[in-house]
Amino acid sequence: MTDNPIDVLDEILHTLHNHRDAGIRGFDCSGEAAGLMDRWHEPLTQRRDTLEAIRADLGECRRCPLCHRRRHIVFGVGNPDAQLVFVGEGPGRDEDLRGEPFVGAAGELLNRIIQAIKLTRDQVYIANIVKCRPEGNRNPEPGEIATCLPFLERQLKAVNPRFIVALGKVAAQTLLGRQEPITRLRGKFYDYHGIRLLPTYHPAYLLRNPAAKRDVWADMQMLMKVYDYED
């Protein structure tokens, strides 16, 4: 690298010509891009993504239409070193108001499920496929999921759990890239980038269909058999 300003300008010009020849017509000057470039200078060994860095990159996100009606971004909550991550679909009304996942009636039920497997909410990490509330609690659209998912993928990589429980159809189908109904997907472990992923019913579904609690309990018993409570 040179200190001569003429050489520096020549290098910039050369770079711009290369970009033009490659078909590039503009630059991303967003805070997210700037943050990524700042981290180029960090040694590779220090570059493990953190939940704080991911939250900072997300910012006051307006990347998809779900930003228009949300009150709070619901990023995720819990132990950053959790062995177990629960992934739901998206925030509901209570979650949107509080900015925290699973705090309404479905959240109460999830808390009871967590207790039943002899853990506490502080020991696990909880997040959703999309971080802003789809109005009327509709399913998120494929485009909304595709836009938001990279942030959850980074969160999962940063937490690096041994197990993921995918709560409901949207979470299971999205993380597994499969289309089967949750009735067929649940009750088995799958591989998600080296993490064991277990789909089960969403707690909101259990509130409407209490009989399905038996299936969820069977799934949780499978999980308890392989969970390392000593860790």
> CA 218, CA 212: separation in Å to the nearest integer?
10
CB-nearer residue toward ligand SF4: 141 or 215: 141
Those residues whose C-beta lies under 8 Å from the C-beta of residue 138, and which sit 6 or more positions away, are none
Q: Tell me the CB-side half-sphere exposure of residue 56, using CA atoms within 13 A.
A: 12
Site map for ligand SF4, 121-160, x if CB under 6 A?
---------xxx-----------x--xx------------
Reduced 3-state DSSP string for 132-146: CCCHHHCCCCHHHHH
How far apart are CB 70 and ligand SF4 at their closest, in Å?
Answer: 6
CB-nearer residue toward ligand SF4: 143 or 181: 143
How far apart are CB 186 and ligand SF4 at their closest, in Å?
Answer: 25
How far apart are CB 61 and ligand SF4 at their closest, in Å?
Answer: 3
Contact call for residue 82 and ligand SF4 (CB under 6 A): no
How far apart are CB 65 and ligand SF4 at their closest, in Å?
Answer: 7
For residue 44, the one-letter residue type is L
How far apart are CB 6 and ligand SF4 at their closest, in Å?
Answer: 44
CB-nearer residue toward ligand SF4: 169 or 186: 169
Contact call for residue 64 and ligand SF4 (CB under 6 A): yes
Length of the chain: 231
The helix (run of H) or strand (run of E) holding residue 17 is: helix 5-21
CB-nearer residue toward ligand SF4: 63 or 213: 63
Is the Cβ–Cβ distance between 87 and 128 less than 8 Å?
yes
Contact call for residue 67 and ligand SF4 (CB under 6 A): yes
> CA 118, CA 112: separation in Å to the nearest integer?
10
* Structure tokens given for 95: 């979650």
* Structure tokens given for 156: 């999962």
* DSSP per-residue string spanning 162-222: SEEEEESHHHHHHHHT--S-HHHHTTS-EEETTEEEEEE--HHHHHH-GGGHHHHHHHHHH
How far apart are CB 197 and ligand SF4 at their closest, in Å?
Answer: 21
CB-nearer residue toward ligand SF4: 125 or 163: 125
CB-nearer residue toward ligand SF4: 61 or 124: 61
CB-nearer residue toward ligand SF4: 91 or 161: 91
Window 152-211: residues binding ligand SF4 (CB under 6 A): none
Q: Which residues bind ligand SF4 (CB under 6 A)?
A: 58, 61-64, 66-67, 73, 130-132, 144, 147-148
